[in-house]
Chains A and B, each alone.
Chain A
Amino acid sequence: DADVTQTPRNRITKTGKRIMLECSQTKGHDRMYWYRQDPGLGLQLIYYSFDVKDINKGEISDGYSVSRQAQAKFSLSLESAIPNQTALYFCATSSGSEHTGELFFGEGSRLTVL
């Protein structure tokens, strides 16, 4: 089983719908992240959390919200999806040690907003 699991893996929805992407991890890491990946662009950080009570905006947080339900769970919500949120979304974790740039990614959630 994967250490970082994302659900759903694929989702097609319509403009204006609320969407939740879920992430759970068994690595025991405190730090969790949500990124989006678009063709021709680098990974962009949406939100990150260093522990259950800590939530921080990334570079592109507008239109998104998150919830850290437990150390192992970090959900991303799109309250009212729009077509330019069509992208591949990745959840990632890290240990918080000096090697904080070593991220462990989930398999990705491909979201299409029509």
Chain B
Amino acid sequence: GQNIDQPTEMTATEGAIVQINCTYQTSGFNGLFWYQQHAGEAPTFLSYNVLDGLEEKGRFSSFLSRSKGYSYLLLKELQMKDSASYLCASMDSNYQLIWGAGTKLIIKP
């Protein structure tokens, strides 16, 4: 079966760094996506990895290891506005996104 696992909730301190992990098992693989979703709002696209390695985009970076079925999202210099849910999604062989349940990130002052 297809499965995406990520922690339900994490807490971090303003100004710190946090890493949100995601493991995936999908039928085929065409990329790993991260989305941010603030409470009561729509998800918005953050990053896309299809090759192994780290993709950096400002304060946010995303890493992929295809052999391990593993990705993480790294958030640096945390700000209060980063409090949100972070959704991991893997694209399968049919180019369909399989979504994790999301990780709720709580930022404390």
Q: Which residues of A contact B (CB under 8 A)?
A: 40-45, 58, 90, 99-108
Contact = CB atoms under 8 A, between A and B. Distances in A.
A107 to B, nearest CB: 5
Nearest to A90: B42
Interface in B65-100: 87, 89, 91, 95-100
A41 B98 CA distance: 11
Contacts of B42: 90, 105-108
Interface in B33-73: 33, 35, 40-45, 48
Contact of A43 (B41, B87, B91): B87
Contacts of A106: 42
A43 B95 contact: no
A46 B96 CA distance: 12
Contact of A102 (B48, B96, B98): B48
B97 A45 contact: yes
